[in-house]
Amino acid sequence: MKTALLATAVFMAPFAVLADPLPSWTESDTKTRIIEFVNAVTDPDSPDYVTPADRISVFDNDGTLWAEQPVYFQLTFAMDRLAELANADPSILSNPTLEAAAEGDLQAIVDGGHDALIEVVNASHAGVSVEQFQDSVANWLDTARHPDTGLPYDQMTYQPMVELLRYLRDEGFRTYIVSGGGLHFMRVFAEEAYGIPPEQILGTYTDTIYETGDGAPAIIKAPGIAFIDDKEGKPINIERTIGRRPILAGGNSDGDFAMLEWTTAGSGPRLGILVHHTDAQREWAYDRESPIGKLVDGLDKGPELGWVIVDMAQDWDRIYTGGD
Amino acid sequence: MKTALLATAVFMAPFAVLADPLPSWTESDTKTRIIEFVNAVTDPDSPDYVTPADRISVFDNDGTLWAEQPVYFQLTFAMDRLAELANADPSILSNPTLEAAAEGDLQAIVDGGHDALIEVVNASHAGVSVEQFQDSVANWLDTARHPDTGLPYDQMTYQPMVELLRYLRDEGFRTYIVSGGGLHFMRVFAEEAYGIPPEQILGTYTDTIYETGDGAPAIIKAPGIAFIDDKEGKPINIERTIGRRPILAGGNSDGDFAMLEWTTAGSGPRLGILVHHTDAQREWAYDRESPIGKLVDGLDKGPELGWVIVDMAQDWDRIYTGGD
Ligand SMILES: [Ca+2]
Ligand SMILES: [Ca+2]
């Protein structure tokens, strides 16, 4: 039996060593730097060793873990939801902004600015229980398809990033989402898409109301936005919710700058990762001038702060989890 | 080798069966009900089996996991801290309320109501980084002693509840604190005292500010109170932060009513636990008339809702972790 065990160990070892934890990443400096960081903080003999409890990693969602063009997917959901609700009760389209949104007229919402956006969010997200809202998101994900790729939205996750999340967890990290997207929206798909459970998702949220009218108590989504999980809100939300400073942070826009800054300014080994959208062929190419996912400070200051800039066209062999 | 393993298994089994997970609880119906619940949700063959991911348990802190008389310990900290700060700079005592607080005049704060309390909290908690604040709490815990027991405050945790927390974790539960106490305050001692890490502590909090002035970024505690984690705030905070409905909730006052109500109204097996302070000899006896830890609805409606009411005098063999 001892011999059999030994033989198995010898047989298995090369596979353990050679298995590529990031098969959809090309053999680049980017990949090497990520793997070297993980090795350094997980090797008990390394001076940079970090105990598992402190291996906290945080990731933005839109443009970092899944695509965000031509418009944030949650806004597409909001407009589709509005159209669906108006089918049952046309009176909910009580003004031109909501009428335009239900018709999918994105430009009208953009022109209407913040107020128009809040109106659309309120009409599509508020006044229902969290469970009811999340059912509507799940139904939408089942049926909606992206206009350009034809994929279900939750298949437009980035396969290289899904691999990175899994690799980190295999190495004793906890993986969190810290996103400007809606908390309740993301919780519907993040566990299946990324392996990230509800308690490890931080996002933008509305107030909720605890109601105990007739029957069982329920938690109802109120209108408005109570907390925007973007820019300085990201480190603030991480400190408040997790209470530990991450050692690795990933993002794609200047909305993530403060999160990466706070993460990498900590003592000991730290890694900041920015996904740079450089691939007009397979995805989209945008940065400094884009209204969505604008990236200026990260490109200008990130490299000198030691952040890894992922060149999507060069560093990723494959883009979408649901693609080829 | 197989024989040796078998012998070990036979030798170990009776200990596993006989080991009492709650040695500081008397052999009462209370203890039996708790253990029967845990057995039901952890036995894979039970119709009430719950997967580990959903074994969420939540506990109030003041009066549930540690004592809260003659006044919430955090208020004692605030007054002591104020006196310490005034030693270095007397000008911070800029009005009679703060002067009285620094002298330990509790009645003056009670008489001043909510405004006085906020003033004391602001002067003792705000305007410093989270790290600086938590250092001051750690120093206080090292030196301060309770006026009646002479114990360090973090030794006035309830040994039976510390055992319950450990037992639940051993059985695959996650244990959270959901308390009206300050989030940053509790994080200083909860990991050592209860085995509960920072990311599993929910509490009342102030706003914080992300600052990047000269040097490294810091997160600074702002004045005021941004969220009160009490009454309906408890289920709201749990839903927002954890995103799962607990299957077990423990508290001691009507501030916990909504949390226990929401927990036990869910489908499947649920347990609500209320610690009833009945022990004037070893601790304090108080409920319906107490300004601190007032318990009326829980006593009136809890039993018919199936909640376990812990009779501290009858059900606990021992009170404080730091006591006899
Ligand atoms: Ca983004
Ligand atoms: Ca309490």
Question: According to the model, what pLDDT value does residue B138 have?
Answer: 98
- Residues in A touching B128 (Cβ below 8 Å): none
The amino acid present at A82, given as its one-letter code, is L
Is B7 a residue whose pLDDT tops 60?
no
Q: Does B232 touch chain A (CB under 8 A)?
A: yes
Q: Which helix (H) or strand (E) holds A276?
A: strand A271-278
Looking at A28-42, A45-59, A92-106, which range is the least confident one?
Answer: A92-106
B104 in helix, strand or coil? Answer: coil
DSSP structure class, residue A309: E
Q: Is A244 in Cβ contact with B208 (below 8 Å)?
A: no
Note which residues in 119-138 of chain B have CB less than 8 A from chain A: 130
Question: In whole numbers, what is the pLDDT of chain B averaged over residues?
Answer: 94
Rounded to whole angstroms, the Cα distance separating A227 from B207 reads: 11
Give A242→chain B minimum CA distance, Å: 4
Query: How many CA atoms within 13 Å lie on the side-chain side of A57?
Result: 29
Q: Within an 8 Å CB–CB cutoff, is residue A199 touching chain B?
A: yes
Contact: A241, B241; criterion CB under 8 Å: yes
- Band of pLDDT at residue A18, cut at 50, 70 and 90: low
Residues of B whose CB is below 8 A from A258: 210, 212, 217
Which residues have beta carbons under 5 A from ligand 2 (an ion)?
B 60, 62-63, 252-253
* Nearest chain A residue to B205, by CA: A240
Domain range annotation of chain B = 22-68+156-315, 73-143
Note the pLDDT of residue B38: 98
Q: Is the pLDDT of residue B17 over 80?
A: no
| Cα dihedral value B17, B21, B24, B27, nearest 10 | -50
CATH among 2.60.120.340, 3.40.50.300, 1.10.3720.10, 3.40.50.1000 for B22-68+156-315: 3.40.50.1000
What's the gap in Å between the CA of A113 and the closest CA on chain B? 26
The string of DSSP letters for B196-232 reads --GGGEEEEB--EEEE-SSSS-EEEEPSS-SB--STT
The verdict on a CB contact (< 8 Å) between A235 and B243 is no
In angstroms, the CA A222 to CA B183 distance is 24
Inform me whether the pLDDT recorded for A215 exceeds 90: no
Whole-number Å distance between alpha carbons of A231 and A256: 6
> Which one, of A221, A143, A153, A147, lies nearest residue A192 by Cα?
A153
In tens, the pLDDT along B246-259 reads 999 999 999 999 99
Cis before residue A269, ω within 30 degrees of 0? no
Q: What is the number of alpha carbons within 13 Å of residue B215 lying toward its C-beta? A: 3
Helix (H) or strand (E) holding A101: helix A96-102
Question: How many other CB atoms are found less than 10 A from the CB of residue B65?
Answer: 29
User: Mean pLDDT across the stretch B139-152?
Assistant: 98
In Å, how far is B82's CA from the nearest CA of chain A? 24
Q: Can you spell out the DSSP letters for A51-85? A: -GGG-EEEE--BTTTB---SS-HHHHHHHHHHHHH
The C-alpha of B128 sits at a distance from chain A's nearest C-alpha, in angstroms, of 15
pLDDT at A214: 76
Strands (DSSP E) along B103-240, which ranges? 174-182, 201-204, 208-211, 218-221
Centre of ligand 1 to C-alpha A275, Å, is: 9
Provide the Cα torsion A226, A229, A231, A232; round to 10°: 70
pLDDT of the residue at B2 = 44
Multiple choice CATH, A21-69+152-315, 3.40.50.1000, 1.10.760.10, 3.40.50.300, 3.30.565.10: 3.40.50.1000
Q: Does A195 touch chain B (CB under 8 A)?
A: no
pLDDT band at B51 (very low <50, low <70, confident <90, very high): very high
CA distance linking residue A74 with residue A76, whole number of Å: 5
**Could you tell me the distance, in angstroms and rounded to a whole number, from the CA of residue B199 to the centre of ligand 2?**
20
DSSP B32: H
Residues of A in contact with B130 (CB under 8 A): 239
The string of pLDDT tens digits covering residues A248-284 is: 999 999 999 999 999 999 999 999 999 999 999 999 9
CB of A309 closer than 8 Å to CB of A303:
yes
Which residue on chain A is closest to B53 by alpha carbon?
A197
pLDDT for residue A17: 55
Q: Give the DSSP letter of residue A175.
A: E
